[in-house]
Amino acid sequence: MTSQIVTREDCQIVVKNHLQRELFQITDYQTGQFFDEVNGFLGEHLFLTINVLLGGKIQTLRFFLKKFPSTHPLQSEFLRSMNGWQREIYCFQTFLPTIKQTLPDYQLDFVPECFLGKPDDVLVFEDLTLRNYDLPRQANLNLLDNEHISLALASLAKFHAGSLAYEEYQSKRLGEPFRLFTGQEQLVKEPLLRRENGFLGYDFFKAAMKGLKALIGKVHPKNQVALEEVQQKFDTLAAKALALMCPQTTFRNVLAHGDLWAKNVMFQYEGHKPIKAVLVDFQLIRYHVPAHDVLLFLALTTNRRVRQEKFHFYLKFYHDALAKELEPVNIDATSIGMSYEQFQKSVSFIMPEIKIHGALLRLQQCGNKDFYKKLVTDKEAYKNFIFVDKAPFALELFETDANFRTLLSEAVEEIIEAALYPQVIREDCYRILQDELACTDYELLRYEVRSTGAESQLEIDVITKGGRRQINYLLPSSH
């Protein structure tokens, strides 16, 4: 049996790259559906099996195939507008092999092997399930446990370290600073969140902002600042988020994954225990600060309680892993602008964008399976959801889907905080409270910034085992 999705010539390339040999004979090949559920909006996920005659015996080789959504005009147009397919091909066929060639000891064990990449057509990878990799085996993919998060951050650190090490190697070779993005490289340019009229990514952004604005009306505490003022300040925050999506000059940038959430990480298991993580789906790679990937992943795989307990732990864990990955190539993180202090500053700097971006992706990802199955079969509804106005969909899910309501309530509440008090983020309060209370066992009820002349004071209301109390903190003038 053959398949119209790939050709025999395609299969020849796949098998040759997989076996690293020329002498074999393909007898037949076929494709089929890899997942039973909707797993992504920007490509069909299939398996490819190829029967090969080797040494007088037939061997069946199995691969993972990603097919360009050519039968879905809207998805195709969206993907082409981002150069999504070409970005992933660039990452696997140019960027990663170049790093490996430049740094021979650098191991590409944090990504699957890619055996074929055809622009706007197909991508063929190793089938990771054959090595006991799987999507996170967790009850809720929006809430991963510590083991899964730590493994993913370790693999992310290795990916980022390769980018930094390659830039440092080229800088020494050329005798001047070398960067992967100079402003012209289209496959590294921001793929999605750009303020350009007529650009589908901007339509995607505006549709999501309508959805978030509608949810502000649902979760906003009516007894505080007027809703109209909150929504106006939300518009200011959203505009700032867009501006923060460009590569930064104050902080080091890397080739970032750009779309790191639970379904874009696969884990190898021993029994029920995850032991290793591999990053997949590089269609939204962008040149940005490393903190962007870290923070977006945490925003999409944890809830507020977990971040209260472990946010700063995860920042330190990631940075330690990054520094460790740089040691074998004789690079000290501090010497290249990646000290922990500098990393923390980049976290604070980029956080307004993360509050918006994280909530935007929560809107996209946190609905139930039935919602997505229905959505992809209704072309008009799909178009409205992605590019026109997410508000009616968000309001419906908010009323009918408990998981969506919980996660989006938290995300929107934090957007309101960030809009009203841009000097301080909730995560700053976590650090202050941990120092003040020497624990993470408390409930943060609210925080507010009050300005009196040249000074600003942070008021935090918490409930601890000893009861309710208010903590006042004089903000440094740098805020």
Quick check: 267 and 277 in contact, CB under 8 A?
yes
Q: Please tell me the predicted confidence (pLDDT) of residue 39.
A: 46
Spans of the chain, pLDDT less than 50 = 38-39
In a domain, 167, yes or no: yes
- Of 291, 311, 331, the residue that ends a domain is 331
What is the side-by-side order of every strand in the sheet holding 114-117?
25-33, 44-54, 57-67, 122-126, 114-117
Q: Please tell me the predicted confidence (pLDDT) of residue 38.
A: 47
- Measuring CA to CA, which residue among 284, 44, 261, 49 is closest to residue 135? 261
In a shared domain, residues 357 and 344: yes
In a domain, 69, yes or no: no
Q: What is the DSSP string of 312-372?
A: HHHHHHHHHHHHHHHGGGT--GGGGT--HHHHHHHHHHHHHHHHHHHHHHHHHH-S-HHHH
Q: Please tell me the predicted confidence (pLDDT) of residue 59.
A: 96
In a domain, 403, yes or no: yes
In a shared domain, residues 321 and 442: no
In a shared domain, residues 373 and 239: yes
Q: Please tell me the predicted confidence (pLDDT) of residue 1.
A: 53
pTM listed for this prediction: 0.95
Q: Please tell me the predicted confidence (pLDDT) of residue 36.
A: 60
**Backbone dihedral angles phi then psi of residue 392, each to the nearest 5 degrees:** -60, -35
In a shared domain, residues 307 and 404: no
In a shared domain, residues 293 and 409: no
In a shared domain, residues 170 and 235: no
In a shared domain, residues 155 and 259: yes
- Of 331, 349, 380, the residue that ends a domain is 331
177 lies in which domain range? 132-190+248-331
In a shared domain, residues 353 and 415: yes
pLDDT tens for each residue of 275-334 = 999 999 999 999 999 999 999 999 999 999 999 999 999 999 999 999 999 999 999 999
In a shared domain, residues 204 and 348: yes
In a shared domain, residues 321 and 458: no
- Domains in the chain: how many in total? 3
In a domain, 429, yes or no: no
In a shared domain, residues 235 and 324: no
In a domain, 71, yes or no: no
Q: Within its chain, how far is the Cα of 293 from the centroid?
A: 6
Q: Please tell me the predicted confidence (pLDDT) of residue 55.
A: 84
In a shared domain, residues 295 and 397: no
In a domain, 94, yes or no: no
In a domain, 474, yes or no: yes
In a domain, 346, yes or no: yes
CATH of the domain at 303: 1.10.510.10
